[in-house]
A and B are shown apart, each in its own frame.
Chain A
Amino acid sequence: MCGIIGYVGDEAAAPIVYQGLENLEYRGYDSAGIALVNGARATGDVAADGGLTVAKRSGEVSNLTVPDAPDATCGIGHTRWSTHGPPTDANAHPHVDCAESIAVVHNGIIENHEALKAELGDHEFTSETDTEVVPHLLESELSETAGGDAVDLRTAVERVVDRLEGSYAVCAIHAGENRIVAARDGSPLVVGHGEDAAFLASDVTAFLEHTREVTYLEDGDVVDLSADGDVEVFAPSDDAASDASVPDSSASSDANAFLSRRPVDRSVETVEWEADAAEKAGYEHYMRKEIHEQPTALRQTLSGRVDVDRARVDLDVSFPEALLERIEEVQIVACGTSYYAGRYAARLIESFADVRTTVEIASEYAFGAGRDPDRTLTIAVTQSGETADTLGAIRRADSAGARTLAVTNTLGSSVTRAVDDAVFIRAGPEIGVAATKTFASQVTTLALLAVALGRERGTLSASRARSVLENLRGLPGAVQQALDAEADVVAAAEQYRDEDAFFFLGRDLGVPVALEGALKLKEIAYDHAEGFPAGELKHGPLALVTDRTPVLAVLTEGGSPAETMTNVTEAQTRGADAIGCVSADREFGTLDVAFEVPDVGLLEPLVANVYFQLFAYHVANEKSRAIDKPRNLAKSVTVE
């Protein structure tokens, strides 16, 4: 969490950094700040006074007063989701050293900050953050000399980051230098290459309107961006990594104890996302835009991957034949909405590929006893590819020796480096904190994977595969049909907005959708909402049902509709109103509100989910909630 942006070039940095912060605000919005190297743009140099200008404050980016500094051409910015220290002005980034000549922004957690702080006894700290040790450590390093010469900023950053434990992406600027030095380990950082300019950010959306030429940095990298836009990347060299490992802190002044880094070439890639895909196109909220983008996103997810006639799927990954033959378990690890997508997919994989499939919340995952890693495929499902909990889980699977696969929306993300293979869901950028289109695209991608595994393992007949693939191809049109009925959902949202609680019910493939529907309502409307397997209602939760607790049910193909309706009726008997998403060829006359789901077989619950998304959106909108930035949340959760 937290968003970082940096710019150095020949234009005024403040507006570019500020725009970048607005683009990154989905990553956190507790506080924001900017630091600039006071500049003399006419000469392309720094100002004679050689100072920094820092502006920061708590609240959303729009609360920030941008420094009027047309001559400053180098700057960094940060938007924060609090981990250490509450969202106050003092805890906002950038943080500076005692002399206010070094400014640092940081994403991640520095676990040994207390120990480091103790060493810096004579330095004055002004915040409660873990980050603040970094500028002070840099100050100490820069005050040293190496063979009579002053220590260079890059050397100082290298020395400091090698002492940090935890995860970080840090960017530093230094008064008197139009230059940014940054490093990453465990948190995302990407470089953008402009014309006579360079960018740094947590995510490409920060600078997509300026350039699409990017370099994804790897863990351990230190990058040096100079005033003319030159980018140099330094990576720990293999020899040093193997013999020196982690230096102990007592030897911190001995340069030889640090990792030695060498210049490396990191490839430049072109991002295909459109800049405007990350803009709002006049919608009031990203979330509603993204809900409406689902037909397009799903067509992209499917594009070129489905061959109905041959009953084949091409996902551009190939598993070793031996693994496919001997596989005993598929494990899915994920968090939040991605976890529910995993739950949906697990049923499909188990059924199509005839292999035991388990789904685990990533933060709870361990490679349990009694399993053979050689016969295990572990799949990490994460929209951002940076979710710390999921990264941790997939690394545990990897070190246990399992085959690993990532299903993600983000090219170049950390998860793609941590796994053997990656499959992209191609949903396009998602900015709303509440995931919508990426859920649909994740389930669709995993369903394709289920068909691929079933076909390759010979457990799924061609005719069954064909019918599933035809249903998948029918999904974009079916979702469009649900979107066209939005006015009916608005009416239901208006009718039920003030109820005490909402219970979502489903069976089978309807269970993950019920859970996801409840999560959406919690996230953006702050209403009490719970999802249950419908059969469980009578084993406890029914005690909560009153005439002020509507139930929302998945009554479609793939969700045992008749049985589910029995449970819905139990709730209705206790006075609750019932809203159902019903297959086109069925009718449940006793529902208070019914939404029609077109015939797409086992994917019908996924269309029901679109109605739940719209319901949550419109209930939240009726209550004027901050839909794209729900309180206490952030999109890309890069801490554990």
Chain B
Amino acid sequence: MTDDPVTAVVLAAGEGRRLEPLTNRRPKPMLPVATRPILEYVIEAIREAGIDRIVLVVGYRQERIRNHFGDGDDWDVDVEYVEQANQLGTGHALLQAEPAVGDRFVVLNGDRIVDADLVRRVREATLAGDAPVMAVTDVDHPREYGVVTLDGEDRVTGIAEKPEAPVSTSRINAGVYGFTAAVFDAIRETSPTGELALTDTLDRIADENPITAIGYRGQWLDVSYLWDLLRVNASLVGADEEADAGSDADSAPEIADDVVVGDDVRLGANAVVGGGSALGENATVGPNAVVEGSVVFPDAVIEAGAVVRDAVVAGNARVGANATIAGGRSTVVVDDEVHPDVRLGGVVGDNATVGGGATLVPGTVLGDVSRVDPGAVVSGTIEPDAVVRRG
């Protein structure tokens, strides 16, 4: 164990089902924004906050996480892994880390991007003996998160997960905590097998065991839905100073300033990559193709003349020549919930193929390994492995 008495536990075992089909092959924390996994931003914030020992709780598709982070040397941290074999909830996930932590530790979600400063403040409060500590922040749609009630500014008295009734506050649980080892017994008392959310435990103990609230107004980026990936990506590529300028030749590709391009990306002549986009490693954008406001994963291929706007093109997917994802807003249904007026040109799942000249109506989601025949017009949600014929 290192000298710093505070370890960070990052919960990264969950699946992220609302982000299907992208999470069929990778856990949500490994979705790339600005060509890097969300979890990488979390780990960097932890390191910048002065914590160099990180316990990753992994489960679903954990190979992706282990392959990427290894033992943490590339990030100057020591990464250890504990496995949550069945995804039974965040309380159960945290219990798996019990043997790997000392008396004081901070806990973060692997799929929320926060500033290092917040982690530092939670760490200091934990060291100062204020645990349990919970960071709280304000959002526009509080009912999608854990809405907290406060006594004054610095005391959490209750948490309601995704409340159905309207709420009068915009204050939510930001998903960064500081605990002592006492939290493990509290989880076990709430639910002997820990099959509950961590927040259920915290809600239960809030009365007798005051929870210190730490108010936070910095960057708080959460990818709940497919279209959030585009929004979060755009906000991060804008912040990234690095962009390929391209050459002056007449046929050189045009790349906007707020674009992040991974290694070994191949850009054809006259290709245009517009603002808010990210191109993953080894991806291809063919001649005269246009990519705007989109996230292209590693190994994906966008063929000559295709138009890809407001879209996610997942790993090793192929968008055929002159295919069109025109972009714009539409109504998208996820798990029987209707989400009107979201900006999502379309999603092309991993290894899916969009035939030449095909068109994706805004809001179309193609499952992984699905195939759209050349010239077809497709809308709605297409199941994995399905074939869409022209008709």
Residues of A within 8 A of B69 (CB): 281
**Is A293 interfacial (CB 8 A cutoff)?**
yes
- What is the minimal beta-carbon distance from A39 to any residue of chain B, in angstroms? 27
Find residues 344-385 in chain B having any chain A CB closer than 8 Å to their own CB.
Answer: 350-351, 369
Find residues 471-495 in chain A having any chain B CB closer than 8 Å to their own CB.
Answer: 473-474, 476-478, 480-481, 483-484, 486
**Is A499 interfacial (CB 8 A cutoff)?**
no
- A303:B284 contact, CB within 8 angstroms: no
- A282:B81 contact, CB within 8 angstroms: yes
- B316:A473 contact, CB within 8 angstroms: no
CB closest chain-A residue, reference B268:
A309
The interface centre, meaning the residue of A277, A281, A303, A486 with most chain B CB atoms within 10 A of its CB, is A281
Find residues 263-287 in chain A having any chain B CB closer than 8 Å to their own CB.
Answer: 274-277, 279, 281-283
Find residues 300-314 in chain A having any chain B CB closer than 8 Å to their own CB.
Answer: 302-304, 308-309
Residues of A within 8 A of B117 (CB): none
Residues of B within 8 A of A279 (CB): 70-71
- What is the minimal beta-carbon distance from A625 to any residue of chain B, in angstroms? 20
Proximity string of chain B (239-276) to chain A, C-beta cutoff 8 Å, 1 when within and 0 when not: 00000000000000000000000011010110000000
- What is the minimal beta-carbon distance from B309 to any residue of chain A, in angstroms? 23
- A299:B281 contact, CB within 8 angstroms: yes
* Number of chain B interface residues as a range: 20 to 34
**Is A292 interfacial (CB 8 A cutoff)?**
yes
Interface residue SS majority, chain A: helix
Partner of A299, one of B25, B71, B282: B282
CB closest chain-A residue, reference B74:
A274
- What is the minimal beta-carbon distance from B24 to any residue of chain A, in angstroms? 8
Partner of B63, one of A292, A308, A481: A292
Tell me, in angstroms, the Cα distance from A473 to B80 when the chains sit together: 33
- What is the minimal beta-carbon distance from B135 to any residue of chain A, in angstroms? 28
Proximity string of chain B (39-77) to chain A, C-beta cutoff 8 Å, 1 when within and 0 when not: 000000000000000000010000100110111111000
Whether A598 touches B282, Cβ cut-off 8 Å, given contacts A474-B316, A483-B63, is no
Tell me, in angstroms, the Cα distance from A302 to B79 when the chains sit together: 29
**Is A289 interfacial (CB 8 A cutoff)?**
yes
- B70:A281 contact, CB within 8 angstroms: yes
**Is A363 interfacial (CB 8 A cutoff)?**
no
**Is A88 interfacial (CB 8 A cutoff)?**
no
- B264:A281 contact, CB within 8 angstroms: no
Residues of B within 8 A of A476 (CB): 282, 298-299, 316
Whether A277 touches B67, Cβ cut-off 8 Å, given contacts A474-B301, A476-B298, A477-B351, is no
CB closest chain-B residue, reference A478:
B316
- B298:A281 contact, CB within 8 angstroms: no
Proximity string of chain B (208-241) to chain A, C-beta cutoff 8 Å, 1 when within and 0 when not: 0000000000000000000000000000000000
Partner of A275, one of B73, B266, B282, B350: B73
- B264:A299 contact, CB within 8 angstroms: yes
Tell me, in angstroms, the Cα distance from A283 to B58 when the chains sit together: 12
- A276:B67 contact, CB within 8 angstroms: no
Residues of B within 8 A of A282 (CB): 58, 66, 80-81
**Is B29 interfacial (CB 8 A cutoff)?**
no
Interface size on A, residues (CB 8 A): 31
Residues of B within 8 A of A486 (CB): 63
CB closest chain-B residue, reference A584:
B369
- A473:B266 contact, CB within 8 angstroms: yes
Residues of A within 8 A of B298 (CB): 299, 476-477
Tell me, in angstroms, the Cα distance from A409 to B79 when the chains sit together: 27
- What is the minimal beta-carbon distance from A627 to any residue of chain B, in angstroms? 16
Residues of B within 8 A of A304 (CB): 264
Residues of B within 8 A of A276 (CB): 70-74
Partner of B25, one of A293, A478, A484: A484
Residues of B within 8 A of A484 (CB): 25, 350
**Is B315 interfacial (CB 8 A cutoff)?**
yes
**Is A101 interfacial (CB 8 A cutoff)?**
no
Partner of A477, one of B263, B268, B299: B299
- What is the minimal beta-carbon distance from A619 to any residue of chain B, in angstroms? 19
Tell me, in angstroms, the Cα distance from A296 to B67 when the chains sit together: 9
Tell me, in angstroms, the Cα distance from A289 to B68 when the chains sit together: 11
- B299:A480 contact, CB within 8 angstroms: yes
Residues of A within 8 A of B71 (CB): 276, 279, 281
Tell me, in angstroms, the Cα distance from A65 to B193 when the chains sit together: 41
Tell me, in angstroms, the Cα distance from A296 to B351 when the chains sit together: 17
The interface centre, meaning the residue of B73, B74, B263, B300 with most chain A CB atoms within 10 A of its CB, is B73
- A303:B67 contact, CB within 8 angstroms: no
- What is the minimal beta-carbon distance from B265 to any residue of chain A, in angstroms? 10
- What is the minimal beta-carbon distance from B67 to any residue of chain A, in angstroms? 5
Partner of A293, one of B67, B300, B316: B67
Tell me, in angstroms, the Cα distance from A281 to B369 when the chains sit together: 30
Proximity string of chain A (503-546) to chain B, C-beta cutoff 8 Å, 1 when within and 0 when not: 00000000000000000000000000000000000000000000
- What is the minimal beta-carbon distance from B59 to any residue of chain A, in angstroms? 12
- A598:B281 contact, CB within 8 angstroms: no
Tell me, in angstroms, the Cα distance from A479 to B268 when the chains sit together: 25
Proximity string of chain B (294-337) to chain A, C-beta cutoff 8 Å, 1 when within and 0 when not: 00001111000000000000011000000000000000000000
- What is the minimal beta-carbon distance from A207 to any residue of chain B, in angstroms? 15
Partner of A281, one of B67, B263, B268, B269: B67
- What is the minimal beta-carbon distance from B19 to any residue of chain A, in angstroms? 16
Residues of A within 8 A of B263 (CB): 299, 303
Whether A480 touches B70, Cβ cut-off 8 Å, given contacts A302-B282, A303-B264, A304-B264, is no
Residues of A within 8 A of B268 (CB): 309
Residues of A within 8 A of B72 (CB): 276
Residues of A within 8 A of B25 (CB): 480, 484
Residues of A within 8 A of B269 (CB): 309
- A308:B266 contact, CB within 8 angstroms: yes
- What is the minimal beta-carbon distance from B97 to any residue of chain A, in angstroms? 13
- A480:B315 contact, CB within 8 angstroms: yes
- What is the minimal beta-carbon distance from B282 to any residue of chain A, in angstroms? 5
Find residues 71-97 in chain B having any chain A CB closer than 8 Å to their own CB.
Answer: 71-74, 79-81
Proximity string of chain B (103-117) to chain A, C-beta cutoff 8 Å, 1 when within and 0 when not: 000000000000000
Tell me, in angstroms, the Cα distance from A304 to B282 when the chains sit together: 10
- What is the minimal beta-carbon distance from B247 to any residue of chain A, in angstroms? 14
Tell me, in angstroms, the Cα distance from A209 to B63 when the chains sit together: 23
- A481:B70 contact, CB within 8 angstroms: no
Tell me, in angstroms, the Cα distance from A474 to B298 when the chains sit together: 10
Tell me, in angstroms, the Cα distance from A293 to B66 when the chains sit together: 10
- What is the minimal beta-carbon distance from B21 to any residue of chain A, in angstroms? 12
Proximity string of chain A (550-583) to chain B, C-beta cutoff 8 Å, 1 when within and 0 when not: 0000000000000000000000000000000000
Tell me, in angstroms, the Cα distance from A536 to B66 when the chains sit together: 42
Residues of B within 8 A of A596 (CB): 369
Whether A292 touches B67, Cβ cut-off 8 Å, given contacts A477-B315, A480-B299, is yes
- A480:B316 contact, CB within 8 angstroms: yes
- A274:B316 contact, CB within 8 angstroms: no
Shortest 3 CB-CB distances between A and B: which pairs?
Answer: A477-B316, A477-B299, A282-B81
Q: List 29 A-B contacts (CB under 8 A).
A: A274-B70, A274-B73, A275-B73, A276-B71, A279-B70, A281-B66, A281-B69, A281-B71, A289-B67, A293-B67, A296-B67, A299-B281, A302-B282, A303-B263, A303-B264, A309-B268, A309-B269, A473-B282, A473-B284, A474-B299, A474-B301, A476-B282, A477-B298, A477-B315, A477-B351, A481-B316, A481-B350, A481-B351, A483-B63
Chain B contact residues, CB within 8 Å of chain A: 25, 58, 63, 66-67, 69-74, 79-81, 263-264, 266, 268-269, 281-282, 284, 298-301, 315-316, 350-351, 369
Q: A275-B73, A276-B74, A302-B264 are in contact. List 18 more A-B contacts (CB 8 A).
A: A274-B73, A274-B74, A276-B72, A279-B71, A281-B79, A282-B80, A292-B63, A295-B299, A473-B284, A476-B282, A476-B298, A477-B298, A477-B300, A477-B315, A477-B316, A481-B316, A481-B350, A483-B63
